[in-house]
Structure 1
């Protein structure tokens, strides 16, 4: 197990995904983000089945910052209940781990 975590979130637009990535990078909550291609999401919302295009992002951060990153993403997000999830990184290239730790706030 490393000291890193991946936080995953979905956004309603590429612009909102971009803005959130920039904010978390500027605030030192994450070391790197990966904006992925749009996806089609199917989900239940308020008793109805919905379908929408969403923009997924992977946020790479220190494990001890993952909850702060989740909270900040939720704060910036326009959804009432944004999908923001995290999982630990079980293994990683050691130089990348050191770089990610150095690039996040202390």
Structure 2
């Protein structure tokens, strides 16, 4: 089970974009859930160091959806180069892992 599920991390400039994007992914069964956290990002861009408030999204999904989520991120994200990281979930409670898979199995795949 654990080889099938992952956490995708995306950062965004504001909580509303993050919430709308997450809601779309959950509604279309590309993610089981998304957890949002306000963060402070310090990074280098265009030769300068920036210090900005952002929102971090942690999506729980199946690895098979990562490419589609990346495509949608690149299509709608306000940043030119959005943060997009895929992290395998090495261990999860069996019930939670099953829930992720159940929530992200699209009806046409059943």
- TM-score, normalised on structure 2? 0.89
Q: Cα deviations across residues 55-75 of structure 1 (Å, max 9, x unaligned)? A: 001000011112222222222
Moved over 4 A (4+): none
Cα drift, residue 18 of structure 1:
0.6
Q: Which residue of 2 aligns with 1:75?
A: 75
Q: Which residue of 2 aligns with 1:44?
A: 44
Question: Can you give the 5+ residue segments of structure 1 that lack an aligned partner in the other structure?
Answer: none
Map residues 91-106 of structure 1 onto 2, 5 A cutoff.
91-104=91-104, 105=106, 106=109
- TM-score, normalised on structure 1? 0.92
Cα drift, residue 40 of structure 1:
1.2
Cα drift, residue 49 of structure 1:
0.9
Q: Which residue of 2 aligns with 1:28?
A: 29
Q: C-alpha distance in 1, partners of 2:63/2:71?
A: 14
Count of equivalent residues: 105
Q: Which residue of 1 aligns with 2:17?
A: 16
Q: Which residue of 2 aligns with 1:59?
A: 59
Q: Which residue of 2 aligns with 1:89?
A: 89
Q: Secondary structure at the match of 1:80?
A: coil
Cα drift, residue 101 of structure 1:
0.8
